[in-house]
Structure 1
Amino acid sequence: MKRTLKIIGIIAILIYFVGNVLPNLIGVPLAAYDSYKNWNEAENLINELNQRKVSTTNQSHFKNGVWIHEKDSLAGIEIKNGKWNIFYKGTEIDSTDIYDYKLTNHLPEFANTEIKESEFLVLTNKSDTLKYELLGYNKEYLSLMYLSNGKIHIYKSEK
C-alpha cells in the first residue's frame, strides 16, 4: 500500500511538473525571445520611416498649391514657385508675408535628433525667421508644429 501511494505521489508530481512547471521553464524564455525579436523589428521599421532624408536645398519638396487652416477657414498658406505665402482672406499680402523656405533634418536649438529624426521647415524673409517641425505632408494635409510655442497647425489642401 505504501509503495502504491509513493507511485501515485510521484506520478502526481510528474503530472504537475509537466503540466505547470515545464511549460513555464520553456515558454517564458521563448516568449521573452519572441518579444525581443518583435521589439527589434518594430524599432527597425520606425527607424526606416524616420530616416526620410530631406535635402536642405530642395525647394520642390512642397507642391504649388493653397492650404487652408483647419480651424480658421480664413487663414492659409500658398506655396508658389519656391515661396511660402502666409495669408488671411480679406487682407492684402505684403512682403512680410512672403517667405523663402528650407527643409532640414537638424535644428539643434530645438530638438534632440538623436532621439527622433525629424524634418524641420525654416521660413525666412527680410524681417523674420519662423521655425516649424514638419509633422505630416501629403496631397490632402499639411501638419506643422510651430517650435516657438509648440502649437500645431493643420492645413487642408484647397482643390
Structure 2
Amino acid sequence: MIELGGVDKFLKGLEESLKLPEELIRMKLNYALPFVHEEVTSKTPVWSGKSLRNWVWSMDAPNSSAPKEALGSMPPGPTNSMPLGSEPRRPVNQAAADASFAAISTRDPFRQFWLSNNSENIEGLEYGQLPTPGRSRSPKGMVRVTVQSLMLALEGGAKSK
C-alpha cells in the first residue's frame, strides 16, 4: 500500500505558485506605471498647460474624450527660457494629470493600462516641432525617450518602488 502524506500542503503550495506570475506582473506594473507617468509628465513642456493637463490614464481602452482646457489663469512666464518643471502653470495642470494616474489600480494586473493625450499640439511637442524645431524644449519628445528608458530599466531587472 502507498500512502500519500501532505496532500493539503502540496495543493496549497501549488495554489501559491499559480499566483506567482500575477504577483510578478503586478510588481513590474507597480514600477512601470509610475515611472512612465513621472517621466512623460516631467518632460512635457508647459506654456498654457493644456498638453500636460491632457495626459489621461485609463484602463481597458484609451481615453477618447475631447481635450480638456488647461487649468490656471496666471501668466505663462517666459517658458522658452525656463527649465522644464519651473513653469508657472505646471503645478495645477500636473495635479490634474496626477489625479488621473491615481485613479487606476493594478489590483487586476491583466487589464490594459493606457496613457492618452488628446491635446491638439501633443504630436508637435512629441516630435520637437513646437514652438519651433530650433526652440523646442523637448526635442527628443516625451513618450519616445520614456519608452526607451523604461525598456532599459525593465531589462535590468527593475524592482518595485
TM-score by length of 2: 0.29
Which protein is richer in strand relative to its size? Answer: 1
Which protein is richer in helix relative to its size? Answer: 2
Instruction: Tell me: higher relative CO, structure 1 or 2? Use CA pairs within 8 A at least 6 residues apart.
Output: 2
TM-score by length of 1: 0.29
For the pair shown, the structure with the greater C-alpha radius of gyration is 1
